[in-house]
Amino acid sequence: MAQLITQFEKACSNVEPDAEDIANAAEAHAAIRDVLDNHPDLVVKGIDTVLIGSYKRHVSIRRVKDVDVLSRTDGLDMTAPEALDLFEQILCHEDAFGEDRVERQDRSIKIGFPDYNLDVDAVPARPAGEYWEIPDRGATWTKTNPEKLTTLSSTINGTFDGLYVPIVKLIRQSRRANLDRRPGGFYFEILTYHAFNNGLDGDNLPTLFVAAMRSVADQLAEVVNGGDVEDPTMPGEYITVRVTDAQLLAAARKFAALADKAEGALGNDDLCGSALAFREVLGKNSDDEWVFPMPASCNDDGTRKAVATVSSTATAGDQDVPAGNRRFA
């Protein structure tokens, strides 16, 4: 069975944000926090701005174009539109970022960092019992619990020996390479969390990736048939996203096909054919590079190279590796 362990490890590396993006995101977050957490109108409301989102959970893939921050305030006693007004006014001030770099959105204020090719979404939040409330698209407040998702992600990543986070990134990459804009990466992250939380067979990157792909495909099919996706951070609540029925159906069909291809590749004794299938599933990253590398013994079209041309260049990972049979639950 062609497992291609080395190639999967390289694929994970090929979707990692680069060091410059990571440094820029950290600086942008610090700049936003410096403005908001030191403004007197927000200091009196007990503001504390923290990182949230995929960047905080370490599941961002190349490249990082946006960062989310949650401005928790104990005394934000106003309507959601009024809260957005206040944040927009503060961030638009000439002593902050100026009007040209600030854009109001349904739930947040977006601040552009053109030198970094990066945006930061600043989200006002106020307490709602054990959760937080943020502005909703309908000009009201809606409950959320983003920091709990960070905790859950860290916990399940430990349960699976550090393999959960890389698989989330590979699932996100498969979505980006094969689907239109919606459903977005967050939705697929939640589906992947449920896949792992329900238990997956496997103890390495290839087996867990293929099992997660199948679970995600099955969950999408259930949603198309009227099912819901539970919010793991708030019992009794469900994940809602802006997506049309046509987009959801297209996603379900595409991921069913991708899961079929991945399962076929995992069970294929043809090393090069398997590698080509995984390459097609994962596509190219934002640098227009194939995420999944072909083994040294294989041509880009999935055929074997002549033995004479590879006898001195074969590398670890080209050999077949037995499948893992450990079950995590």
The CATH number given to whatever domain includes residue 31 is 3.30.460.90
Alpha carbons 302 and 319: distance in angstroms, whole number: 15
Which pTM value belongs to this model?
0.89
Residues 288 and 168 occupy one common structural domain = yes
What would the two tokens of residue 249 be?
Answer: 């159906």
Residues 203 and 285 occupy one common structural domain = yes
pLDDT given for residue 57 in this prediction: 92
Q: Tell me which of 144, 163, 188 is where a domain ends.
A: 144
Residues 166 and 73 occupy one common structural domain = no
For 174, half-sphere exposure in the C-beta direction (CA atoms, 13 angstrom radius) is 31
Residues 186 and 204 occupy one common structural domain = yes
Residues 218 and 277 occupy one common structural domain = yes
- 222-267 pLDDT, tens digit per residue, is 999 999 999 999 999 999 888 999 999 999 999 999 999 999 999 9
Q: Tell me which of 112, 144, 176 is where a domain ends.
A: 144
Residues 128 and 253 occupy one common structural domain = no
Helix 5-14 to helix 164-178 angle, to the nearest 10 degrees? 70
Instruction: Assess contact for 284 and 63: CB atoms under 8 A.
Output: no
Residues 108 and 248 occupy one common structural domain = no
Closest alpha carbon to 236 in 130, 98, 324, 123: 130
Alpha carbons 59 and 176: distance in angstroms, whole number: 13
pLDDT given for residue 159 in this prediction: 96
Give the structural domain span for 197.
Answer: 5-16+149-328
Q: Tell me which of 144, 171, 201 is where a domain ends.
A: 144
**Long-range Cβ contact pairs of 85-93 (< 8 A, separation 24 or more):** 86/41, 86/42, 86/124, 87/36, 87/122, 87/124, 90/35, 90/36, 90/39, 90/41, 90/42, 91/32, 91/35, 91/36, 91/122
Residues 135 and 161 occupy one common structural domain = no
Q: Is 20 helix (H, G, I), strand (E, B) or coil?
A: helix
**Sheet strands (E) in the chain:** 48-52, 66-72, 102-104, 109-113, 118-128, 131-135, 141-144, 200-201, 327-328
Question: Which residue carries 């054919």 as its tokens?
Answer: 273
Closest alpha carbon to 70 in 26, 114, 126, 118: 126
Number of domains in the chain: 2
pLDDT tens track of the chain, all 329 residues? 456 999 999 999 999 998 999 999 999 999 999 999 999 999 999 999 999 989 899 999 988 889 999 999 998 999 999 999 999 999 999 999 999 999 999 999 999 999 999 999 999 999 999 999 999 987 899 999 999 999 999 999 999 999 999 999 999 999 999 998 889 999 999 999 999 999 999 999 999 999 999 999 999 999 999 999 999 999 999 998 889 999 999 999 999 999 999 999 999 999 999 999 999 999 999 999 999 999 999 999 999 998 754 544 444 445 444 344 444 44
pLDDT given for residue 323 in this prediction: 42
- Residue 30's Cβ-count burial label (10 Å; 0-12, 13-18, 19+) is exposed
Closest alpha carbon to 212 in 164, 153, 252: 164
pLDDT given for residue 2 in this prediction: 55
What would the two tokens of residue 80 be?
Answer: 């959601």
Instruction: Assess contact for 221 and 257: CB atoms under 8 A.
Output: no
Residues 89 and 232 occupy one common structural domain = no
H/E segment holding residue 311: none
What would the two tokens of residue 203 be?
Answer: 């103890």
**Long-range Cβ contact pairs of 26-33 (< 8 A, separation 24 or more):** 27/116, 28/67, 28/111, 28/113, 28/116, 28/118, 28/120, 29/67, 29/69, 29/120, 31/113, 32/69, 32/91, 32/111, 32/120, 32/122, 33/69
Q: Which amino acid is at 283?
A: G
Residues 200 and 284 occupy one common structural domain = yes
Residues 171 and 30 occupy one common structural domain = no
Residues 264 and 153 occupy one common structural domain = yes
